[in-house]
Amino acid sequence: MGWRSPNSGEEPLILDPVGFGNLVHEILDGALILLEAGVGMASSDLTLIEATINAATIEVATIWAREQTIPPALIWQRTLNEAKLLSYRALTFYAGQLTDMRSYGEVPFGGASPRTNSQLPWDSNSTVEIPETGIRIAGYIDRLDISTSGQQARVCDYKTGKLPRESIVLDGGKELQRCLYGFAVKALLGSDISIRASLLYLRAPSELMLGDPDATLEEIIRYLQFAKTNLAAGNCLIGPDAADNYDDLTFALPANASAGYCNRKSAAVAECFGDATQVWEAN
């Protein structure tokens, strides 16, 4: 229904993980726009990248201070320094691998509105539909690198959290971005383009590359078909992440739902959903 939880009007002591991730993403997007407007990401040396990140951080920090509540000054400065460090790792991780490539950040697709006036690699209003499902997707790709030949592309989903202990593909349905990003690129630039899809954990830093994007997309299609069948039958029930700290719809559940209600209903939910629950066990 388009509902969104309101931002707190109180001054936060620290940014929560979601807020910090948004801060890093905005700095990265701003820095990438500046670099591509100049000599280009592929031709930028480490000194230029660092200076550009510093400039982008100042601009983003100014906007945040004007438009929303931020932590106290000392903590805010420490947060900005950490965000700059992670941003530097993100933009230098592929140093030397970007020859003959153009880089884009926060790339809209499927009808998502562009967040800046920077050049896009495609028409962002073009429809992106997952085959055999009738489901259309829209969103923003964190980072997209495209070769000038148009034959190769790299999609990257930035992560500011901890690196998983083991390699993941779908992680119980939580990590769909890089798979769907790759599909969006193929849908908009041509099915013959070679794609490298990765999660880039900035604290490590470390890259988790998707081994077989095409096979993974086929797996996702199967899960989506199961889910669509359930929704069409009216089975819109709680899942394993219901009532967690970042569930905006917790208010629709009974009080203390994570400790009682969700546990009591889990077996009945699994029986009702049937094959659709398979995604919860996917690696």
- Per-residue pLDDT at 9 exceeds 60: no
Is residue 231 one of the residues assigned to a domain?
Answer: no
Is residue 220 one of the residues assigned to a domain?
Answer: no
Is residue 193 one of the residues assigned to a domain?
Answer: yes
- Judgement on whether residues 106 and 177 belong to the same structural domain of the protein: yes
Q: What is the pLDDT of residue 2?
A: 65
- What domain range includes position 256? 237-281
Q: What is the pLDDT of residue 7?
A: 57
Tally of structural domains, the chain: 3
Q: What is the pLDDT of residue 256?
A: 86
- Per-residue pLDDT at 268 exceeds 70: yes
Q: What is the pLDDT of residue 8?
A: 53
- Judgement on whether residues 112 and 204 belong to the same structural domain of the protein: yes
For residues 98 and 249, which has the higher predicted lDDT (pLDDT)? Answer: 249
For residues 9 and 88, which has the higher predicted lDDT (pLDDT)? Answer: 88
Q: Quick check: 20 and 70 in contact, CB under 8 A?
A: no
Cis peptide leading into residue 12 (ω within 30°): no
Is residue 1 one of the residues assigned to a domain?
Answer: no
Q: What angle do CA 56, 59, 63 make, to 5 degrees?
A: 135
Q: What predicted TM-score, i.e. pTM, was given to this entire model? A: 0.86
pLDDT tens digits along 134-191: 999 999 999 999 998 889 999 999 999 999 888 888 988 888 888 888 889 999 999 8
- Judgement on whether residues 127 and 207 belong to the same structural domain of the protein: yes
